[in-house]
Amino acid sequence: MSRIGRLPFRIPKGVKVSVTPGTVKVEGAKSSVTRAFDPDITVAVEGDAVVVGRKVNTKRARAMHGLVRNLIKNDLIGLSAGFAKVLVISGVGYKAEIKGKNLVLALGYSTPIEYPVPEGIAIEVEANTRVTVRGADRGQVGQVASEIRSFRPTEPYKGKGIRYDTEHVRRKVGKSGIK
């Protein structure tokens, strides 16, 4: 049995979980998420906990067991507390700002980059160099942060670009100029 999949997890306060055959609906204070799962997987609400199991012991069912459990757990956490990724912009003249529903990035290119903020995501900019991406869907938060970072990844010589707050950039030594 899957070590991760067999662990029950508690339902946070303010979140409702309803299970129908093949789908789980998680409702929070602000929004709701409906997630479909494999027919070989069983999901049950027992008291204030969600228990995920499997009907058969096939390779696919074993693979999906832990995945379905963690996806539902992430939905519960996202609707109760939310997820966030912090990006740091470093470089002379590099900055970010919010204009309407767009994130405008000045990253040393000839024109600024306008990134439309997707539905369900909130982006905050602090001091023009710190961008926080927040949302209820963990996958969507990570995807948006990755797309923003891809506009100018940090380069190893001067350290200019966009990096995650927890990311460490290994710096390289440039040319020495000695023959």
pLDDT in the model for residue 165 = 93
Q: What is the 8-class DSSP label of residue 168?
A: -
Say which CATH topology domain 9-80 has: Outer Surface Protein A; domain 3 (3.90.930)
Domain pair 9-80 / 83-164, same fold: yes
pLDDT at 1 over 60: no
139 Cβ partners below 8 Å, 6+ apart?
A: 74
Structural domain boundaries in the chain: 9-80, 83-164
The Cα–Cα gap between 138 and 155 comes to: 27
The residues near 93 (Cβ < 8 Å, ≥ 6 apart) are: 106, 108
- Helical (H) or strand (E) element with 73: helix 59-80
Q: Which residues make Cβ contacts (< 8 Å) with residue 3, sequence separation at least 6? A: 66
Digit-coded pLDDT (tens) for 133-172: 999 889 999 999 999 999 999 999 988 999 999 988 888 8
Across the range 20-31, mean pLDDT stands at 84
Could you tell me if 41 and 1 are in contact, meaning their C-beta atoms sit under 8 angstroms apart?
no
Assess if CATH 3.90.930.12 describes domain 83-164.
Answer: yes
